[in-house]
């Protein structure tokens, strides 16, 4: 697959491209009750979490601007209470595109680095074949409440806690805990579409993602419900398998790097063949090899797609 075809697959699958490049008219918002008073909404882009109760609605991520009214309509199907707050798990457009519209009524909350990257613009990517351009956002789309480590919202009988885990998917990741309902929204530190996109350009790292998840897992109840950044509601066994894959694939590429092998050599050797079930249209085995290689070496290798 050439770089152009690869980029096209990425844009279609992950939705980091500009909203105007996509047709949202046929997107339907699917609503799932996760547990307690927590719901998950799926449309285009990242999964939305929602705490719904007498105090109103707390939304986690808001997908794309053209979907804002559809998202509002889906929420009105649950309650007539207003959206009180919106929390961004990280800065990518498929999780923050609706910020300006939702912030007309409810303040946006996010880590300091989310506000910074939205305000200044950014180039999400893996230091190689994956690269996007996010333009600086208007002030209406910027979080008006930001935090360094964590913040807690006391609504709907929940102590909703957003906790920052640095250098995982990005450098502004927050994982959101709903302890009373026994639900956690992991943003894109945990996804179900296969090998993850790790935004090395945006301060992310494989090591940081592993560290975040390994810190979280022992602190969560065994029966916790997990909302991933993308994909179906999951459990801790799913997260453990994901972490195991990250550790093993990182070790496999690291062994090659220590032997002085180039990225092209590792791809030709199909170093991640053992984990082929994780390879997808968005992040293929070759692309994830590139991500791991660039992360481990701190510099881009030469990406060559092999059959």
Question: Strand 158-164 relative to strand 56-60: parallel, antiparallel, unpaired?
Answer: unpaired
CATH number at residue 210: 3.60.15.10
In the predicted model, what is the mean pLDDT of the chain? 92
Question: Does 203 have pLDDT greater than 80?
Answer: yes
In a domain, 279, yes or no: no
Which DSSP category does 115 fall into?
Answer: H
In a domain, 118, yes or no: yes
Residue 300 pLDDT: 77
Q: Please, which pLDDT band fits residue 10 given cuts at 50, 70 and 90?
A: very low
pTM, 2 dp: 0.92
Q: Please, which pLDDT band fits residue 37 given cuts at 50, 70 and 90?
A: very high
Buried b (16+ CB within 10 A) or exposed e, 234-269: bebebbeebbebbeebbebbbebbeeebebbebbee
The alpha carbon of residue 10 and the mean position of all alpha carbons in its chain are separated, in whole angstroms, by: 14
Residue 18 pLDDT: 45
Half-sphere exposure of 63 (CA within 13 A, CB side): 24
197 touches 181 (CB < 8 A)? no
In a domain, 261, yes or no: no
Domain count for the chain:
1
In a domain, 295, yes or no: no
In a domain, 27, yes or no: yes
Q: Please, which pLDDT band fits residue 305 given cuts at 50, 70 and 90?
A: low
CA-based radius of gyration for the chain: 19
* pLDDT tens for each residue of 223-272: 999 999 999 999 999 999 999 999 999 999 999 999 999 999 999 999 99
Half-sphere exposure of 11 (CA within 13 A, CB side): 16
Question: Does 303 have pLDDT greater than 60?
Answer: no
Q: Residue 244: which domain range? A: 3-251
147 touches 109 (CB < 8 A)? yes
In a domain, 94, yes or no: yes
Question: Does 22 have pLDDT greater than 60?
Answer: yes
In a domain, 301, yes or no: no
Question: Does 5 have pLDDT greater than 80?
Answer: no
Question: Does 114 have pLDDT greater than 60?
Answer: yes
3 touches 125 (CB < 8 A)? no
Q: Please, which pLDDT band fits residue 21 given cuts at 50, 70 and 90?
A: low
Residue 232 pLDDT: 98
Residue 3 pLDDT: 36
Please name which of 187, 189, 230, 226 lies closest in space to residue 61, comparing C-alpha atoms. 187
Lowest mean pLDDT among 77-81, 151-155, 255-259, 302-306: 302-306
Percentage above 70 pLDDT, the chain: 91
Q: How many residues are there in the chain?
A: 307
């Amino acid at each position: 697959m050439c770089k152009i075809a690869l980029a096209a697959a990425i844009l279609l699958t992950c939705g980091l491209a500009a909203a105007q490049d996509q047709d949202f008219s046929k997107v339907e918002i699917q609503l799932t009750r996760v547990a307690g008073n927590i719901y998950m909404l799926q449309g285009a882009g990242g999964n939305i979490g929602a705490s719904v109760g007498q105090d109103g609605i707390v939304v986690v991520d808001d997908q794309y601007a053209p979907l804002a009214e559809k998202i509002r309509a889906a929420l009105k199907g649950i309650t007539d209470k207003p959206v009180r707050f919106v929390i961004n798990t990280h800065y990518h457009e498929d999780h923050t595109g609706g910020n300006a519209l939702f912030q007309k009524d409810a303040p946006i909350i996010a880590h300091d680095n989310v506000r910074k990257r939205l305000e200044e613009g950014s180039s999400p990517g893996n230091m190689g074949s994956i690269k996007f351009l996010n333009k600086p956002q208007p002030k209406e789309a910027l979080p008006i409440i930001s935090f360094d480590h964590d913040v807690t919202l006391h609504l709907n009988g929940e102590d909703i806690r957003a906790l920052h885990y640095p250098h995982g998917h990005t450098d502004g990741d927050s994982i959101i805990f709903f302890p009373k309902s026994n639900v956690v929204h992991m943003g894109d530190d945990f996804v179900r579409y296969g090998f993850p996109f790790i935004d090395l350009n945006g301060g992310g790292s494989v090591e940081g993602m592993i560290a975040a998840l390994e810190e979280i897992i022992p602190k969560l109840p065994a029966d916790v419900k997990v909302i991933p950044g993308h994909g179906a509601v999951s459990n801790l066994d799913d997260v453990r398998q994901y972490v195991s894959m990250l550790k093993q694939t990182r070790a496999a590429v690291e062994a090659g790097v220590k032997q002085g092998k180039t990225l092209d050599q590792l791809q030709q050797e199909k170093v991640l063949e053992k984990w082929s079930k994780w390879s997808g249209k968005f992040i293929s085995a070759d692309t994830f090899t590139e991500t791991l290689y660039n992360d481990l070496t701190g510099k881009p290798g030469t990406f060559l797609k092999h059959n």
